[in-house]
């Protein structure tokens, strides 16, 4: 299982400092939607140039103009761009086409999806990477509901990432679900010791996998 560091609601300087502090423990870097809106594609480009060996995710949250936004993200250096699952099939198909031509990937964000029918439709479109997403506003009402995993439990073809307020206390329950990627934001970025927290969470993942 991989750790993806999510950078959001942060300044440019904070983003770079946090990556430097945690790069030994993280596998991929996610440039959050808020950061992209603040700094544009330039920050995606700069992060990729500074950390070329890390998988870079541009959290574009595309819901329309899929071909254009996918090209934007990939040309800036992103390895993966995100598209909302409620987008039109054409939007999703277009981003997948652009990604295939460039040897990149598309992560479909399942935020707001509750009907398993949509999961089947996504599979038919050729989707192979999804994100189970417990949104920031939803987190205000409590911790992540693990029944989110019900959406993908019967679909072994998907590579699954999971995001939504995951911290050192909730991580053990997430590990039991065996997602491919665990996306962690404020638990690391807001920690007093970001280096130590990232190392501790990565260590917990490694211990779980070694004992599994």
pLDDT score recorded for residue 144: 56
Summarize pLDDT for 90-137 with one digit per residue, the tens.
Answer: 999 999 999 999 999 999 999 989 898 999 999 999 999 999 987 554
Residue 165 — left, alpha, or beta (φ > 0 → left; ψ -120 to 50 → alpha)? left
Summarize pLDDT for 15-63 with one digit per residue, the tens.
Answer: 999 999 999 999 999 999 999 999 999 999 999 999 999 999 999 999 9
Q: Which two tokens stand for residue 141?
A: 């009402």
pLDDT score recorded for residue 140: 42
CA distance to 88, 93, 104, 118, per residue, from 97 (Å):
14, 6, 10, 20
> Are 15 and 46 contacting, i.e. CB atoms less than 8 angstroms apart?
no
Range of the domain at 37: 2-211
Q: How many residues comprise the chain?
A: 212
Burial class from Cβ neighbours inside 10 Å (0-12, 13-18, 19+) for residue 209 reads exposed
| Average pLDDT of the segment spanning 164-176 | 93
Q: Give the CA dihedral 200, 140, 151, 120, nearest 10 degrees.
A: -120
Helix (H, G, I), strand (E, B) or coil at 84: strand
- Residue 24 is part of a domain; what is its CATH number? 3.20.20.70
Q: Which two tokens stand for residue 61?
A: 């949250």
Structural domain total, the chain: 1
């Amino acid at each position: 299982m991989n750790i993806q560091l999510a950078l959001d609601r942060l300044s440019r300087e904070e983003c770079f400092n946090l990556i430097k502090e945690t790069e030994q423990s993280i596998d991929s870097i996610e440039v959050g939607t808020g950061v992209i809106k603040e700094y544009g594609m330039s920050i995606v480009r700069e992060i990729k140039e500074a950390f070329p060996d890390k998988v870079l995710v541009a959290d574009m949250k595309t819901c329309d103009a899929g071909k254009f936004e996918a090209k934007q993200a990939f040309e800036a250096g992103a390895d993966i761009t995100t598209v909302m699952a409620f987008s039109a099939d054409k939007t999703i198909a277009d981003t997948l086409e652009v990604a295939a031509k460039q040897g990149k990937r598309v992560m479909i964000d399942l935020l707001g999806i509750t009907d398993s029918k949509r999961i089947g439709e996504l599979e038919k479109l050729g989707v192979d990477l999804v994100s189970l997403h417990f949104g920031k506003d939803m987190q205000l009402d409590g911790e992540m509901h693990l029944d989110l995993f019900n959406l993908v439990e019967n679909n072994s073809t998907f590579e699954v990432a999971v995001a939504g307020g995951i911290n050192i206390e909730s991580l053990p329950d997430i590990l039991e679900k065996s997602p491919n990627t665990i996306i962690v934001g404020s638990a690391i970025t807001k920690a007093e010791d970001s280096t130590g927290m990232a190392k501790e969470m990565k260590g917990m993942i490694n211990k779980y996998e070694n004992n599994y």
